[in-house]
Chain A
Amino acid sequence: GENVEQHPSTLSVQEGDSAVIKCTYSDSASNYFPWYKQELGKRPQLIIDIRSNVGEKKDQRIAVTLNKTAKHFSLHITETQPEDSAVYFCAALFSGGYNKLIFGAGTRLAVHP
């Protein structure tokens, strides 16, 4: 069945460093890949997404890359700040119709001052 694997499960960086989170998906027909950020005690919120017709998308300090051949996509955060500390979830759209997203298990990012 459909599956999204996410690595690493935890990530600790120093403020100003870059952080990279990687995901692989099983459904080769998936064409939409969002990333959600969840701060402690809050709801998941969409921070960036990418569709299969592009290989990279940037929004200020965050970027997402997609390799459809290898079926993996990554989130890149540059110049990390303490407020980037959160759990990040990747997801892939289920290609069997409807708007169902398959979520990864999440990455807990800690940015230390």
Chain B
Amino acid sequence: DAGVIQSPRHEVTEMGQEVTLRCKPISGHDYLFWYRQTMMRGLELLIYFNNNVPIDDSGMPEDRFSAKMPNASFSTLKIQPSEPRDSAVYFCASSWDRSYEQYFGPGTRLTVT
């Protein structure tokens, strides 16, 4: 298995633009997690899905952030409009219902200017 796949790996955009981050979990995994990592706030859980259904989005910072999981092999995290304070590394992770181990993707480094 190729592991968790994220795209793009780097994204530079201007304030006010829409940004879409993509994730493909490991095949067979039931859970998908979106994290944001910054020096100031560490690793924050934004939202997670179980069997494509959002379970807890309490970590989503505000209405500018939205996430979807239309099927078991694809999820998106969208920021609209983006702001400079959204600059961070966004990780996607997945896990299997019968194991708690989370496998992280390589991350997307987002820079909003």
* Chain A interface residues toward B at CB < 8 A: 32, 34, 42-46, 49, 89, 93, 98-101, 103, 105-106
Contact = CB atoms under 8 A, between A and B. Distances in A.
A49 B101 contact: yes
A106 B42 contact: yes
Interface of B: 31, 33, 42-43, 45, 48, 50, 55-56, 91, 95, 97, 100-107
Main secondary structure of the interface of B (DSSP, over half): strand
A99 B102 contact: yes
A106 B91 CA distance: 16
B6 to A, nearest CB: 9
B42 A46 contact: no
A46 B100 CA distance: 11
Contacts of A49: 100-101
